[in-house]
Amino acid sequence: MFCVRSVGPPPELVRQRETKWINIILQWDRMLLKKTSKVCPILDTLSHYIEGHSESADLCQGQCKTTHTTLQRKKFKLTSLDSQPALQSWVDVIERDLDRQFPFHEMFLSKDGHGQRGLFRVLKAYTQYQPEEGYCQAQGPVAAVLLMNMPAEEAFWCLVQISEQYLPGYYSPLLEGVLFDAGMLTWVLKRTCPAAHKHLQHHGVEPLMFATDWLMCLFTRHLPFNTLLRVWDLFFCYGVRVLLQVAVVLVRRVLGRAELRKQCPGQMETLERLRGVREQVQEDDDAFIAEVITC
């Protein structure tokens, strides 16, 4: 069960981070051009501010904000899509998936609750907005996390930008985007974690066998919630390379040391450790994020 820790930074620091985020959002294009090396504060410090503000979608759009996107938003209002029929085959699949997304989170406990209703609206609307792509199951947990931080209209447009601008080809029928990045991960591991890469090769474990779910779901199923929000911060700022950096850190934590590799003597044991990687992160989000940044 994902939950936000009750213990955290002092209110003064939270407010300072929130103010900094507000300034970044209001000057988003200029901030991206600066390419500052400083890490942005965590997304959840802004959640209360973001609700009800159109800038939340602009945060996700990043440098991809265009006049075309603005016109598309006017044309495809979520409320107008609600009243239009969608392909029944997509509707059936989406409805089956609703109670699989964070089933222990209070927003998604009830099938008739606002969380599942909002999730259905967002996912159904995407199939109407992009009928040639339709619905990909990996979009479910991504949309669910967006809904935890913003209203359905903004969550929908953030999902659009993630799918079209940040991760093109990830959710298409052929999955060409994620296939390419999984191949790229093999090359990155060979350069940065040669011992772990050799272990994977020796046991016939390819990144596609464990990292596809990591990448397509944006680690929503594999990281503690506080850590996940900070990873998404970096992802929205710097794009897909952050996902590869996180993947490298996770592999390093599972297979980086000789004694860890000895605990994975075969393909099955190696995959089991990699798929249960959440245990390697726990709640040390500061150390984890520092490791990602320096990867």
Q: State mean pLDDT over 168-192.
A: 93
Mapped onto helix, strand or coil, the DSSP state of residue 162 is helix
The answer to whether 98 and 115 are in contact (CB under 8 A) is: no
What's the pLDDT at 83? Answer: 79
CB count within 10 Å of CB 109 equals: 13
Domains present along the chain, CATH in parentheses: 64-166 (1.10.8.270), 176-294 (1.10.472.80)
Q: State mean pLDDT over 49-61.
A: 42
Cα–Cα distance measured from residue 72 to residue 64, given in angstroms and rounded to the nearest whole number = 13
Tokens of 250: 């996770």
What's the pLDDT at 9? Answer: 63
| Alpha-helix residue ranges (DSSP H) falling in the chain | 11-26, 28-34, 47-50, 55-61, 67-75, 78-82, 88-97, 114-129, 139-149, 152-161, 176-192, 194-202, 211-216, 225-238, 241-255, 258-262, 267-275, 285-293
What's the pLDDT at 190? Answer: 94
Tokens of 217: 């779901």
With a CB cutoff of 8 Å and minimum separation 6, the contacts of 83 are none
CB count within 10 Å of CB 282 equals: 11
Compute the C-alpha angle 136/295/47, nearest 5°. Answer: 55
Q: What is the pTM of this model?
A: 0.77
pLDDT tens sequence across 217-275: 999 999 998 899 999 999 998 999 999 999 999 999 999 999 999 999 999 999 999 99
pLDDT tens sequence across 114-132: 899 999 999 999 999 999 9
Cα–Cα distance measured from residue 56 to residue 50, given in angstroms and rounded to the nearest whole number = 5
Cα–Cα distance measured from residue 247 to residue 226, given in angstroms and rounded to the nearest whole number = 17
Cα–Cα distance measured from residue 278 to residue 149, given in angstroms and rounded to the nearest whole number = 22
Cα–Cα distance measured from residue 68 to residue 51, given in angstroms and rounded to the nearest whole number = 24
Identify the burial level of 184 via C-beta atoms within 10 angstroms of its C-beta, where 0-12 means exposed, 13-18 middle and 19 or more buried: middle
Residue 57: pLDDT over 90: no
What's the pLDDT at 179? Answer: 93
Cα–Cα distance measured from residue 293 to residue 222, given in angstroms and rounded to the nearest whole number = 18
